[in-house]
Every structure is written in C-alpha cells, then in structure tokens.
Structure 1
Amino acid sequence: MLLADEARAYFNEDSRGDRAALDPMARVVLSCESLKITTRLMHVIAWLLTQRAIDAGEIAAELADDPLRGLATPPATGDDVLATMPAGTGALIRASIDLYRRAERIERSRSDPPAASPARAMLDRLAMQL
C-alpha cells in the first residue's frame, strides 16, 4: 500500500517537472507506464486481499485454486522504454515489477509441494542403510 501511495503522489504532483521536460510522444509513453505501474500494484493488492480472505476462511479453501483468484498477468515494460523514463518513473516501474515478482514467488510456493529438505534426504538415506 505504501508503494501505491508513493506512485499516486508521484504521478499527481512530483512528476510534473519530469513530464514537462519530455517531448509529446515521450509524455504519452510516460502516461502508459503510469497505468502499467498502477495495474501491477492493483493486481498484487487484489491477490493479497484474496489470500487474506482465504486464510481467514472467508473464501472456501477449495475455491482458492480457481484461476480467477490467482495473480493476474501484469503488463510488460521493455528495457528500452525503461531507459527513457525519468528517474522517478523508472524507480516506480522497477519497484512495481519487483513487488509483482515477489508476489509471484509466494503464489508459486503456495501451489508447489514443499521442496525436500537436504537434511531429511540424508536422514532417509542413513535409515535405509541401517
């Protein structure tokens, strides 16, 4: 939520100077990127709220696997576009991508079976030799 608030503040106030220095086409690209940042953040927020509802029992556990409750596919930002963005916008793009990727890892870890512990594998091998 803090990142969403930072993005709102930046695009409402702080980016005016950055925007004014850009040519018209670059301003359009910046506007598109601001929408992508917002979309990534809202996907993560919606997914987190869904996970909280599942954990609280407000959504049945068997409905948790519904693809509609999963993390939606985010809009992509190319490295070439990222390189042309003002510093503040670039920082928000990177932060929103990083947050999305962390949520993706959490989602995968919830759906994948836990990895076998190396220590458990060694104990199992020792037990088989006894």
Structure 2
Amino acid sequence: MEARITPRLVDSLYIEAMVLADEARAYFEDHGTEERDALTPALRVGYAVESLKVTTRIMHVIAWLLTRRGLEAGEIDRAAASQPDRRLGEAGLSDPAVLPQLPEGAVGLIEASEDLYARVARLEQDLLSPPEETQARGSPARSLLNRLERAF
C-alpha cells in the first residue's frame, strides 16, 4: 500500500507546496495589500482570517510531506511516522459567504491551498485505510494488478 506514495510524488507535492507558500507570502504581505486596503473593515477581517487559513493549510501539508521524506530517507521509522502528531493537521474550511467578496488573487490562493490540502488528505486517507477498503474504491486496473501480484 505504501508504494502508491512514491518519493517522486512526495517531492512533486513538496515543490508545489513550497511554491504556493511563497506565492501566498508575496501576495498577502506585498502584492495584495492594495486590494486588502480597498475592502470594508469587516471584509478586511475576513481577508485576514482566510490568509491565515491558507498559511495553515500549506504548513500542514509541508509538515506531512517532510514526514514522508524523512521516512523515505530513513531518518524516521514507520512507527514514528504513523504517530498522531505526524498526521496531516486539521485545517479550517473557507467561509463561502466571504470568498465571493474577496479579491481574485486571494480567492485563487485560497482555492489552490484547499485543492493541495484535499489531495494530500486523500493520500493520507489511503495510507490509513485497510487494504480491502482501498481496493474496493480503487480503480479496476489497480485491483487487477493487485490480484496478479498476489497470484505470482
């Protein structure tokens, strides 16, 4: 089951997360300040909350991916990697009432962070699912390959 999360996939997601973190920092600290200042005071609070949610999602993803990299590199063992404090941290959902009122740049980053977080959460769920459950909802091709591997 562990083979589905390859080092290449982890590295690709890690690069994506780091780029997104840099884009979010640049936007929320520099480029988006003019757009933020044009918002009403109440929306500025929503903007600030959403920027914190973006940062939280990305940092949880990066921490989880670093655990996977550490496991692959032999820096930590499977028991340590499977501890609850090594799981993907909880990240709040964005407020659907606030999103349509935010600047386009902020919304793009919010959606990108939600998408990345959701993909990594699915990977983690696959790791935590019993093999039968994973196979039942997996692709027919993957199921066939698994049966062939067990047969030989």
Provide the TM-score with structure 2 as the length reference. 0.74
1:11 aligns with 2:31: no
1:88 aligns with 2:105: yes
Q: Which residue of 2 aligns with 1:70?
A: 87
Structure 1 counterpart of 2:43, from 23, 26, 32 = 26
Instruction: Tell me which stretches of 4 or more aligned residues in structure 1 moved more than 4 Å.
Output: 120-123
* SS class of match (2:74): coil
1:119 aligns with 2:144: yes
Query: How far apart, CA to CA, are the structure 2 residues paired with 1:83 and 1:101?
Result: 21
The higher radius of gyration belongs to: 1
* SS class of match (2:76): coil
Q: How many residues align?
A: 124
1:99 aligns with 2:116: yes
Q: Which residue of 1 aligns with 2:61?
A: 44
* SS class of match (2:93): coil
Q: CA RMSD in A?
A: 2.1
Q: Is 2:43–2:98's contact at 8 Å kept on the other side of the alignment?
A: no
Query: How far apart, CA to CA, are the structure 2 residues paired with 1:49 and 1:60?
Result: 13
Q: Is 2:58–2:113's contact at 8 Å kept on the other side of the alignment?
A: yes
Query: How far apart, CA to CA, are the structure 2 residues paired with 1:21 and 1:3?
Result: 24
Deviation at 1:110, TM superposition (A): 2.0
Any unmatched runs of 5+ in structure 2?
A: 1-17, 137-141
Provide the TM-score with structure 1 as the length reference. 0.85
Deviation at 1:118, TM superposition (A): 4.5
Query: How far apart, CA to CA, are the structure 2 residues paired with 1:48 and 1:122?
Result: 30
Relative to 1, partners in 2 of residues 1:95 and 1:22: Cα closer, same or farther, differing over 3 Å? same
Aligned AA (1:68):
D
In percent, how many aligned pairs have the same letter? 47
Q: Is 2:32–2:105's contact at 8 Å kept on the other side of the alignment?
A: yes
* SS class of match (1:80): coil
Structure 1, residues 46-90: CA drift from partner, whole Å, max 9, x if none? 110011111211111122221110001102212112112111111
Deviation at 1:120, TM superposition (A): 5.9
* SS class of match (1:48): helix
Q: Which residue of 2 aligns with 1:35?
A: 52
